[in-house]
Amino acid sequence: MFALQKVSARHIIVTVAVLNLLMVVIGYIGHDNPTKHYREGTVGTHISILLLALIALVNFQIFLRQRHVIWLLISLGFTFLAFDEGYEIHEGLDKAFHRFFGISQTSLTDRIDDILIGIYGLIGAGILYRCRAEILRHQVLLQYLFIGFAFLAASVVFDAVTNDNALFLWIGIPEAQVLDFKLPLRALEEVCKLMAEAFFLAGFVLVLRQVKENREFADGDALESGTTRPTE
């Protein structure tokens, strides 16, 4: 870990923003569909899995240096999210809910997977708040967490809005034109999700760098005091 420690937070965020722009533009130009490269199993999904896995790995490295349980919990949480992204766990839970209760999918129950994503975010925020004393030791992280959660909230909202046509029809958009409105919003949903992951990764990389520098400084002080001898 590596070379990622040497990458600036700005580079991480700008790189993901540029990738988002490329995927949206190429989707529009090549397929008239800005969400084309965000569908399951496409490049957008792979980028998300990579970002989530890197966040998990960075937090595990922080845990090895800090030995505080919050960093291990964050690492395990993002590991789960990476598997969720790859294997569509929350979508599977949505379908399992309908099968278990023997109910047909409706506009309301179809939003269960959206609710699960929101619950993931609330659990994460709750754990961070519970261990806020450790988090507040790293002030550099706070602004990245705030922006990351803002992007995550926006992603959940866009996902819920575009889940079906109900809202669009309610505000008076003709059904034939609904897709023209939904596709850009779905693209924004995916863009916000990747940007949330980019801000989280950038913030945790800065924490890892800070922790490493503090440890090296402490080791240097210990070495210096160990080699210093009192003068007669």
**pLDDT tens column, 92-146:** 565 555 565 566 666 655 666 667 777 888 898 899 999 999 999 999 999 999 9
Predicted pLDDT at 63:
96
Predicted pLDDT at 7:
82
Helix H segments across 131-177?
132-135, 139-161, 166-170
Q: 3-34: per-residue pLDDT in tens?
A: 666 788 999 999 999 999 999 999 999 888 99
Kindly indicate the confidence band of residue 231, based on its pLDDT and cuts at 50, 70 and 90.
very low
Contact 176, 152 (CB under 8 A): no
| CA distances to 39, 89, 140, 166, 186 from 160, in Å | 17, 18, 32, 11, 10
pTM of the shown model: 0.85
Q: What is the rounded average pLDDT for all residues in the chain?
A: 85
